[in-house]
Amino acid sequence: MDISTILKGYDLSKLTVGVLGGHSALDVCHGAKQFGFNTVCVAKKGREKTFDKYYKTREWGVGNGKSEVGCIDEVIVRDSFANVLDEDVQAKLKDMNTIFVHNRYFWVYFDDYSKVENDFQVPIFGSRTLLKIEERDQPYNQYHLLHDAGIRIPKIYKGLGASSQQLGIDRPVLVKAAEAQRGFERAFFIVSSDEEYEREGSRLEAEGKVASHWREATVEEFVVGAPVNFNYFYSPLTGELELMGTDTRRQTNLDGFLRMTASQQIEAQKEVPLKMIETGHIACTVKESILEKAFEMGEKFVAQCKKLPKDLDPSGKGMIGPFALQGAVVAEEGREDIVIFDVSFRIPGSPGVRATPYSGYLHGEAMSVGERIGLEIKSAVEQGRVEEIVT
């Protein structure tokens, strides 16, 4: 795909920022509006009201007190998110001079992600090929990248080359199985031996709680620590890495169980199976003594992305814009360390990171990831460098 040719057909003075209707759409569109861009959302029929009613841009107030509210200018409603690949939708997006900001929806709602990589003829802010590395079933996935970058990850018992029949489980491990009904959702379970692994996995499969291919799932050390997601932004325009904020996950129904006493948890689990489906995030902070380690970790990640071969990153541009390294801060022998067990190669769905102070320490006031994307696009337009931030 020749991005240069597509951009030559754009009026860069009238850019529109586009999104799929979910995950981080409102964060991105709010940020885009702050920097003068129009916005467009491709929404799924039956889930469109958030965008074409509640947050649609419109006049608000009466008389001289009227003002514009909302952040979604245009909504394209289709039966499926995958319809964003339809010729008429793409034509409309290009007519609007759209730069599309992708998110995890681009993976989980498409049967063949290569169609997004090859057939979506709209410039994407960020990398259109790195996203698949998030998936642990890829030949080269996030674990390989983290390992190659020298970033600490949990001990792997299955995955990253460790795939023997006898796993040799010698401590609590997390089996990262998929949910039976929704393959993109988590149905993780914890075991402490090979025997328990087989017994518990078989039971959950028989009960229809985990997908039948659970034996193919990654098995990794269960890290006991304070969960923290480190949300970054790498700017090709400045060559600098920024820490946008830190947060932690809220998961259902895990959070409900954690509000119970131990005896209540035992009784509840007799009737209610434990699940770890992500439902939101909580802003949190970390001690300043951890920040330098967090920045070093992010810089290693960016540097390794720049080394990826052409088959993984045909653009050769590496990491562009927002990404997250998600893990836990652990205490060991009187010191703290960070262990990473998940990566997001795009904007994480956590608009609450602006409630943490780190972007404000740099920019003067707190900035959402959506606003940082809007600023980057605006700067690229002003500097004549839009091609450097899209693929």
Q: Is residue 390 part of a domain?
A: no
CB atoms closer than 10 angstroms to residue 224: 10
User: What CATH number does the domain containing 98 carry?
Assistant: 3.40.50.20
Q: Is residue 385 part of a domain?
A: no
CB atoms closer than 10 angstroms to residue 238: 10
User: What CATH number does the domain containing 362 carry?
Assistant: 3.30.470.20
43 and 84, same domain (yes or no): yes
**Segment among 117-121, 135-139, 302-306 with least mean pLDDT:** 135-139
Highest mean pLDDT among 110-114, 234-238, 329-333: 234-238
274 and 230, same domain (yes or no): yes
Q: Is the pLDDT of residue 92 over 90?
A: yes
**Segment among 62-76, 78-92, 153-167, 199-213 with least mean pLDDT:** 153-167
How many distinct structural domains can be found in the chain?
Answer: 3
Mean pLDDT rounded to a whole number for the chain: 93
Q: Is residue 192 part of a domain?
A: yes
| Rounded percentage of the chain residues whose pLDDT exceeds 70 | 98
Q: Is residue 303 part of a domain?
A: yes
55 and 170, same domain (yes or no): no
**Mean pLDDT, range 176-188, rounded to an integer:** 82
Question: What digits encode the pLDDT tens for the residues 20-61?
Answer: 999 999 999 999 999 999 999 999 999 999 999 999 999 998
Domain boundary among the residues 197, 221, 245 is at: 221
Which pLDDT does position 364 carry in this prediction?
97
Which pLDDT does position 333 carry in this prediction?
81
Which pLDDT does position 169 carry in this prediction?
95
194 and 255, same domain (yes or no): no
**Mean pLDDT, range 109-130, rounded to an integer:** 92
The band of 164, judged by pLDDT with boundaries at 50, 70 and 90, is: low
**Mean pLDDT, range 200-211, rounded to an integer:** 92
Which pLDDT does position 358 carry in this prediction?
98
Q: Is the pLDDT of residue 307 over 80?
A: yes
The range of the structural domain enclosing residue 27 comes to 3-125
Interatomic CA distance for residues 89 and 100, integer angstroms: 12
Q: Is residue 147 part of a domain?
A: no
Q: Is residue 145 part of a domain?
A: no
Q: Is residue 310 part of a domain?
A: yes
108 and 210, same domain (yes or no): no
Which pLDDT does position 181 carry in this prediction?
80
Which pLDDT does position 291 carry in this prediction?
98
**Mean pLDDT, range 10-27, rounded to an integer:** 97
The band of 154, judged by pLDDT with boundaries at 50, 70 and 90, is: very high
Q: Is the pLDDT of residue 360 over 80?
A: yes
The band of 162, judged by pLDDT with boundaries at 50, 70 and 90, is: low
Which pLDDT does position 161 carry in this prediction?
64
| Rounded percentage of the chain residues whose pLDDT exceeds 90 | 80
The C-alpha angle with vertex 317 and arms to 315 and 318, in degrees rounded to 5, equals 115
CA distances 1 to 87, 93, 314, Å, are: 16, 17, 10
214 and 230, same domain (yes or no): no
Which pLDDT does position 165 carry in this prediction?
62
217 and 231, same domain (yes or no): no
The band of 222, judged by pLDDT with boundaries at 50, 70 and 90, is: very high
Q: Is the pLDDT of residue 227 over 60?
A: yes
Q: Is the pLDDT of residue 159 over 80?
A: no
185 and 233, same domain (yes or no): no
234 and 217, same domain (yes or no): no
204 and 319, same domain (yes or no): no
167 and 294, same domain (yes or no): no
Q: Is the pLDDT of residue 274 over 90?
A: no
Domain boundary among the residues 206, 221, 236 is at: 221
62 and 79, same domain (yes or no): yes
**Mean pLDDT, range 3-9, rounded to an integer:** 94
